[in-house]
Structure 1
Amino acid sequence: MSNAEEVKKALVQAADAARFAPSIHNTQPWRWVVRGGELRLFGVAERQLTEQDPEGRMLLLSCGTALHHAQVALDAEGWRYEISRPEEGPLAVIRPTVREPIQPEATRHLQMLRVRRTDRRTVTEDAVPEDVLAFLAKAAEQAGSRLHVLGRDQVLELAAAVDQAQKAQDTDERLRAETAIWVGGDRPDGSGIPASALPEELPLTTVAERDFQTRGTLAAGEGHDQGATYAVLYGTGDDQADWLRGGEALSRLWLAAAEQAVNLLPLSGPVEIASSRAALRQMLGGLGYPLLAVRLGNLDPAHSAPPTTPRLPSDQVIEIAD
């Protein structure tokens, strides 16, 4: 196999691995093009939540998680690469350079792509250890973002911001109609959140989970969120490149959490509403721009993982242009 063929194979495999990246409402709003030894990432407007995410921030965050997943796949094959983020055209371009011996941690990170879940069940009363929180904060920082762990008083402020955002979204009929398209029931088309990934009822927690206005089939579990840790993932800017990098950081943080057997639940609702996002930025002392809030906690070890959410087939998200 020639070097060009090796590179092409690696890029197709990386794009395929990126299909398992998390995205807002599992919209998977990305498209990959393999061309001339490059892997190009594009956002897909047809899978953007135009009512919930009119400025495309969650789309960019989602594409950033896919971009990081592709990097994890290349790392696991020993490829070194360069990444550019053009101001026009593709969101990012990956160019493999040389191949080196595979590092054990790279293989472990790849395994986490399949282990990671969006699990909305309640967590146990056992708090995440401080050294694990420090490990997760470092993972986010290495990817270019920061993780601000909230104190008790700030958790109550987060709860108020989440409630404020939920009420604003509940009164928006067009937003509710858009959500209904992507959430609930069976998802035979390979996208969206199926009922099997949603709780039968919303758990009674201090910080409420998003109410999708539909019930699922997953038992929410007992308990509260007393053992949970809440944090805000934030970046230093608010431009397209910042949100894309924020998605990369979210992916790295999520995979690091999975590696530590910590459940991460993203809370994007308070970032989607201007007033509640301002409240989150105030929690940061105005030092950064909030990307989303997260809940970190330990799941009941007696519970099996929820079913995987569906994924679009490869030929719908990967184009081989050579």
Structure 2
Amino acid sequence: MTTATEALARAADTARLAPSVHNTQPWRWVVRGDRLELFAVTDRQLHEQDPAGRLMLLSCGAALHHARVALDAEGWTHRVERPAGEPLAVVHAEHAGPADPSAMRRLQLLQVRRTDRRAVSDEPVPPEVRQALTAAAGRGGARLELLHRDRVLELAVMVEHAGDAERHDERMQAETAAWVGGDRPAGTGLPDAVIPVELPLTTVAERDFGVSGTLRAGAGHDTAAAYAVLYGDGDEPADWLRAGEALSEVWLTATEHGAAVLPLSSPVELDFTRQALRRMLGEVGYPYLVLRLGINDPDHAGPAHTPRLPVEQVIDIED
């Protein structure tokens, strides 16, 4: 029978697949018997674009969700302790049982999930899928606000202003350049293969990384895409960790329904656009991330998976 230590080590290995801002993978796991501890790695934080570490914590939350899905798939019941400070979370493995086929299916979905910056198809996201994504955000501990057309246009202006501000900030540009482009031999960042040759035509602009990749963005426009804001009641570190768990749950649900998710973080990276986004929500919560939702062209394979750091750099197993 699998021991708790073995199950937790495998869960931490699965968490390496989690999405993170610029694929920084800003997490470290420590396995101590029947405990799995999650730490943030500030060396891989975007200090210019994310000085408060919100997106770093959101990324760690997505990794935490991945680890929990892996434990569910192996039949391990567990509970999560969320101390104030470090570690960010402690996962306690409690009881081993038979593997759950539905949980195993969820694990498979996490393994095929990817970030796709291509233009989406002309097929709209069905209403029932939108409802499923909204419910998924709630299960993860956050909320998802799908934007009407006039709000999408308002969002487009915000993103344009954020992009202009970041393009004129030399330190932000240098930071982006350190994580984007090339073949990324270090196991982090965004390689050319996942960056479009040219930015696709979209109502809400994608981030301009300042480099031309090798990914063919596809024809068309994003007229069928839906845009949503992931948000919640709080703006503390614990809230951003929860937001990452919610993002992962939404993404898993989208993958199950054949939908694609593209996170847009630029509106929350700058205070003036983050406040504008909060006003758009009627100041009923704090925005964590903007998501583009769409259906990709099924006749064309998606981009390659981004690289991952080796196990020994992100997981420590202590006796």
Give TM-score scaled by structure 1 length: 0.98
Distance 2:87 2:67 in 1: 15
Structure 2 residue corresponding to 1:89, chosen from 69, 76, 86: 86
Which of 1, 6, 9 is residue 9 of structure 1 equivalent to? 6
Distance 2:244 2:310 in 1: 22
Q: 2:67 aligns with which of 70, 75, 99?
A: 70
Q: Alpha-carbon deviation of 1:100?
A: 2.8
Q: CA deviation at 1:283?
A: 1.6
Write out per-residue CA displacement over residues 49-77 of structure 1, whole angstroms, 9 at most, x where no aligned residue. Answer: 11111100000000000000000000000
In angstroms, what is the RMSD of aligned CA positions? Answer: 0.9
Count of aligned pairs between the two proteins:
319
Say whether residues 1:151 and 2:148 are aligned partners.
yes
Deviation of the 1:37 alpha carbon: 1.4
User: Where in structure 1 are there 5+ consecutive unaligned residues?
Assistant: none
Q: Which residue does 1:309 correspond to in 2?
A: 306
- How far 1:102 moved relative to its partner? 2.6
Matched letter for residue 158 of structure 2: A
Secondary structure of 1:280's partner? helix
From 39, 46, 69, give the equivalent of 2:36.
39
Moved more, 91-100 or 16-25: 91-100
| Aligned residue among 94, 102, 107 for 1:105 | 102
The residue type equivalent to 1:127 in the other structure is P
Q: Deviations over 1:252-311 (max 9, x none)?
A: 101110111101000000010111111111121111110000000011111102111000
For 1:13-28, list aligned pairs within 5 A. 13-28=10-25
Alignment of 1:183-222 (within 5 A): 183-222=180-219
Q: Contact 2:34–2:94 at 8 Å: present in 1 too?
A: no
SS state at 2:159 partner: helix
Match of 1:284 among 281, 285, 288: 281
* 1:17-54 residue CA offsets vs partner (Å, 9 max, x unmatched): 00000000000000000013100000001100111111
How far 1:205 moved relative to its partner? 1.0
Where does structure 1 differ by over 4 angstroms across 4 or more consecutive aligned residues? none
How far apart, in 2, do the equivalents of 1:269 and 1:88 lie?
Answer: 26
SS of equivalent residue, structure 1 residue 20 = coil
Contact 2:4 2:33 in 1 (8 A): no
Tell me how far 1:126 sits from its aligned partner.
1.1
Counterpart in the other structure of 1:49: 46
**Unmatched 5+ residue regions in structure 2?**
none
Q: Following TM superposition, by how much is the alpha carbon of 1:103 offset from its aligned partner in structure 2, in angstroms? A: 2.4
Looking at structure 1, the residues matched to 106 and 21 of structure 2 have their Cα atoms a distance apart, in angstroms, of: 22
> Where does residue 133 of structure 1 map in the other structure?
130
Once the 2 structures are TM-superposed, how far is the Cα of residue 89 of structure 1 from its aligned partner?
2.1
The separation in 1 between residues aligned to 2:101 and 2:253, in whole angstroms, is 15
Q: Distance in 2 between matches of 1:250 and 1:28?
A: 15
> In structure 2, which of residues 289, 292, 299 is the aligned counterpart of residue 295 of structure 1?
292
* Residue identity in the other structure for 2:10: Q
Q: Which amino acid aligns with 1:80?
A: T
2:283 alignment partner, SS class: coil
* 1:83 Cα deviation after fit: 0.4
TM-score (normalizing by structure 2): 0.99
Q: Distance in 2 between the 1:224 and 1:105 partners?
A: 35
SS at match of 2:144: strand
Q: State how 1:142-291 maps to structure 2 within 5 Å.
A: 142-291=139-288
User: How far apart are the structure 2 equivalents of 1:114 and 1:80?
Assistant: 21
- How far, CA to CA, are the matches of 1:222 and 1:149 in structure 2? 25
Displacement of 1:220 in angstroms is 0.6
CA distance in structure 2 between the aligned counterparts of 1:26 and 1:161, rounded to whole angstroms: 24
Distance 2:129 2:174 in 1: 40
CA separation in 2, counterparts of 1:27 and 1:196?
A: 16
- Report the residue type matching 1:284 in the other structure: L
- Which amino acid in 2 is paired with 1:278? Q
Q: Which moved more, 1:192-201 or 1:104-113?
A: 104-113
Counting aligned pairs with the same residue, the percent is 60
Q: Is the 2:198–2:213 contact (alpha carbons within 8 Å) kept by the matching residues of 1?
A: yes
Give the Cα–Cα distance (whole angstroms) in 2 for the partners of residues 9 and 274 of structure 1.
43
| 3-state DSSP of counterpart to 1:293 | strand
